[in-house]
Amino acid sequence: MLARLTGEAAPGEGVLVGPGDDAAVWQPPAGMAVVVSQDALVEGEDFHRDWTGPHQLGRRCLEVALSDLAAMGAVPAWCTATICAPSATVLDDVLALTLGLREAGAEAGCSLVGGDLSGIRGPLVVDVCVGGWVEPGSVLRRDAGRAGDRLAVTGSLGGAAAGLRVLRDGAPAGASAEQVRGWLDAQLRPRARLAEGRRLAALGVRCAGDLSDGLLVDAGRTAAASRCRAEIVAEALPLAPGLREAFPEDWRELALGGGEDFELLVAAAPAVLARAIAAWPAGLAPLTEVGRLRDGAGVALVEGGAPRTPPPVQSRHFT
Amino acid sequence: MLARLTGEAAPGEGVLVGPGDDAAVWQPPAGMAVVVSQDALVEGEDFHRDWTGPHQLGRRCLEVALSDLAAMGAVPAWCTATICAPSATVLDDVLALTLGLREAGAEAGCSLVGGDLSGIRGPLVVDVCVGGWVEPGSVLRRDAGRAGDRLAVTGSLGGAAAGLRVLRDGAPAGASAEQVRGWLDAQLRPRARLAEGRRLAALGVRCAGDLSDGLLVDAGRTAAASRCRAEIVAEALPLAPGLREAFPEDWRELALGGGEDFELLVAAAPAVLARAIAAWPAGLAPLTEVGRLRDGAGVALVEGGAPRTPPPVQSRHFT
């Protein structure tokens, strides 16, 4: 239904039956495993329509879902989406939202093959399911970390949380327009680290996850799944440009507890990580070592060589 | 998140990574095509909590989604689900809903491998994505009908719409308790016609769809996709037991326009359909010829050998 709304598009690679039938049919490459994830964004919980237009929102919904495929080292192939729209919603907005989904999908090689459109007496809900493929032996898993592994992240941290702060409270004094734009982009226009996930898998990394809920929460998840303790070094964090200067009190909270940066968190043996950093292509989001896995449980923060109480977690989801 | 709520379950066949990672990983049988569909049920639009408990609702959400796999001739393998629950929702209800999803999934051979749980300032939303596999050459498609094909349906028609009528207005005079129970079951406890879809594909049928929106709407879809005209014979319809007697004025409307029977509609060459009906196993929902595809477009109703104006369509979805 949903895909039909915006007319025919070229079917994606391997798509045998696209939108318009009861279900979509897709032939994965021979021998490959199928990777699927579903992510909902709910108005008032995950976004506000004052902050984002429908086209940008559609793009964001797809990128957020794709981030989970990136974290598995997968190649996206298809997506389906449910839109629950209040009856007062303008059709143009539904079309713009769908176009945003489609556009972001096309850029990632994943075509909108189906979904559902429903009314709702409540907020707008966009729920995206994404699918793709991965070599069965190269899956990036949360539970593949080992004590002694180094932790690393792609890109920079805290930008999305700073962008949310700007949307809520306005820009902080002294921040440049370019810095503010960078934070807003991180919040409103995240990009899934698909190429980075593929490269990590190719470089022999086997443990990764995305930072949807912030480094503290997600390092805790990786540590728990791998039955280890995660130790994060505050000075090592690749902060979003201008973050520390503009938020001298709160930068740790934004970088560690804010969430929605949709970067990847990696655990790998020191030699594997060193090789990956040395071989890392300049065109990808940089890969930076930020800590290590040890025996034990939980997450610890180290600053100036000493333990430091972690800042509060700002996640907007109940997890 | 969602799957983790209700603890560990045995992973389904071919599931390499289940709940708890960023995404699920599943290895389909070699050479098979992957079939996916997504279906949302929204409180106030698709169900009322006065009419159904959370466990029954969970089962219904999964069966509704599985009906689309049945209509492709597919074998279910996994599902993911998003639940958007108002903050006043009792945790027990979320658990019961998830248990219903899981139970119906286990009965269909499909395990809950992931999903999302979110708050919502609005109605309860349950959005299920189901996946499975099919032999690429045996897909049941909406667009594979040809002029001259006979139309057939599985099971009986009008029960779900009669059940909805009972929930809204009470039982009609003269209906037996058993009949009323049958209609309520059709509305509240639908079962996807998975075995029927597989058998149809094995018997050489290549065109099918499900009756989520009623025979008139869905015959129209099959006819349009196949570039034909559908002709339905009123006397041939396999009505739900007691329907005609209890609703002497409205039985046509309930059987043709009501929707949610989740039976399958088939188009096949006369010889193929005759063979299928002759070879049809007694344990499956019966297969009944109800009309034909002709050259032309649209849907026509024939009664007593003459054209008859079709009754209004009651679909609760905007399509």
pLDDT, tens digit, 9 for 90 and up, residues A32-81 = 999 999 999 999 999 999 999 999 999 999 999 999 999 999 999 999 99
Pairwise CA distance, residues B268 & B228, whole Å:
13
**What pLDDT was estimated at residue A315?**
56
Is pLDDT of A234 > 90?
A: yes
Residues in chain A closer than 8 A to B31 (CB atoms): 30
Tokens of B58: 């969970």
Q: What is the pLDDT confidence band of residue A232, given thresholds at 50, 70 and 90?
A: very high
CB contact under 8 A, B136 and A16: yes
What's the rounded Cα separation, in Å, for the pair B243 and A189?
54
Q: What is the mean pLDDT of chain B?
A: 94
- Kindly report the nearest CA distance between residue B178 and chain A, in angstroms: 32
pLDDT at B259: 86
More confident residue, B257 or A6: B257
- B225 with A20: Cβ contact below 8 A: yes
Q: pLDDT digits over B147-156, tens only?
A: 999 999 999 9
CB < 8 Å to B33, chain A: 16, 25-27
Residue B9 pLDDT exceeds 70: no
Minimal CA separation from B153 to chain A, in Å: 16
Q: pTM score, two decimals? A: 0.94
Q: Over the stretch B172-209, which tens digit does the pLDDT of each residue have?
A: 999 999 999 999 999 999 999 999 999 999 999 999 99
The residues, any chain, with a CB within 8 Å of residue B163's CB and separated by 6 or more, are B183, B184, B185, B186, B187, B188
pLDDT band at B1 (very low <50, low <70, confident <90, very high): low
Nearest to B71 by CA among B37, B97, B28, B120: B37
pLDDT at B137 over 70: yes
Interface test with A, best of B17, B38, B83 (most A CBs within 10 A): B38
Is residue B16's pLDDT more than 80? yes
pLDDT of amino acid A262? 96
Q: Cβ contact (<8 Å) for A33 and B25?
A: yes
Kindly report the number of other CB atoms within 10 A of residue B132's CB atom. 28
- Terminal C-alpha separation, chain A: 31
The arithmetic mean of pLDDT across residues A190-217, rounded, is: 97
How far apart are the C-alpha atoms of B110 and B63, rounded to whole Å?
11
| Residue B312 pLDDT class (50, 70, 90 cuts) | confident
| ipTM attached to this prediction | 0.93
Mutate to test the interface with A, among B129, B200, B263 (most CBs of A within 10 A): B129
Q: Which amino acid is at B285?
A: A
Closest chain B residue to the Cα of A29, Cα to Cα: B31
Mean pLDDT of A265-290: 98
Q: Are residues A17 and B139, on separate chains, in Cβ contact within 8 Å?
A: yes
* Closest residue to B118, CB basis, from A21, A40, A117: A40
- Residue B319: list chain A partners with CB under 8 A: 1
Model confidence at A11: pLDDT above 80: no
Q: Three-state SS across chain B? A: CHHHHCCCCCCCCCEEECECECCEEECCCCCCEEEEEEEEEEECCCECCCCCCHHHHHHHHHHHHHHHHHCCCCEEEEEEEEEEECCCCCHHHHHHHHHHHHHHHHHCCCEEEEEEEEECCCCCEEEEEEEEEECHHHCCEHHHCCCCCEEEEECCECHHHHHHHHHHHCCCCCCCHHHHHHHHHHHHCCCCCHHHHHHHHHCCCCEEEECCCCHHHHHHHHHHHCCCEEEEEHHHCCECCCHHHHCCCCHHHHHHHCCCCCCEEEEECHHHHHHHHHCCCCCCCCEEEEEEEECCCEEEEEECCEEECCCCCCCCCCC
What pLDDT score was predicted for residue B267?
98
Of A38, A64, A154, A194, which to mutate for an interface test with B (greatest number of B Cβ within 10 Å)? Answer: A38
Give the confidence band of B313 by pLDDT, cuts at 50, 70, 90.
confident
CB contact under 8 A, A38 and B129: yes
pLDDT band at A318 (very low <50, low <70, confident <90, very high): very low
d(CA A230, CA B307): 74
**Res B286: pLDDT:** 98
What per-residue confidence (pLDDT) applies to A8?
Answer: 54
The pLDDT value given to residue A97: 97
- Of residues A114, A134, A317, nearest to B118 (C-beta): A317
* Share of residues in chain A with pLDDT > 90 (%): 91
Q: Which residue of A127, A193, A217 to mutate against B (max B Cβ within 10 Å)?
A: A127
Spatial distance between the Cα atoms of B240 and B260, rounded to a whole number of angstroms? 13
**Least CB–CB distance from A23: residue in B31, B72, B84:** B72
For position B319, what pLDDT does the model report?
32
Contact list, A39 vs chain B (CB under 8 Å): 82, 116
- Chain A residue numbers touching B71 (CB-CB < 8 A): 22-23
Q: What percent of chain B is predicted at pLDDT more than 90?
A: 91
What pLDDT, on the 0 to 100 scale, is given for residue B318?
A: 36
Average pLDDT of chain A, as a whole number? 94
Question: Span A307-315, mean pLDDT?
Answer: 83
Q: Do B38 and A119 touch (CB under 8 A)?
A: no
> Span B14-34, mean pLDDT?
96
Disruptive mutation site among A2, A17, A22 for chain B (greatest number of B CBs within 10 Å): A22
User: What's the gap between Cα B245 and its chain centre?
Assistant: 25
User: Contacts of residue B116 in chain A, CB cutoff 8 Å?
Assistant: 38-40, 127
Shortest CA distance from A224: residue in chain B: B20
Q: Do A121 and B317 touch (CB under 8 A)?
A: no
- Radius of gyration over every alpha carbon of chain B, rounded to an integer in angstroms: 20
3-state class (DSSP) for residue A270: helix
Cβ atoms B198, B298 nearer than 8 A: no
**Are residues B42 and A78, on separate chains, in Cβ contact within 8 Å?**
no
pLDDT score for A259 = 86
**Residue numbers in A near B35 (CB within 8 A):** 23-26
The reported pLDDT for the residue numbered A319 is: 32
Q: Which tens digits make up the pLDDT trace of A127-163?
A: 999 999 999 999 999 999 999 999 999 999 999 999 9
- Could B16 and A139 be called an inter-chain contact, meaning their C-beta atoms sit closer than 8 Å? yes
Within 8 A of B142 by CB-CB distance, chain A residues are: 20-22
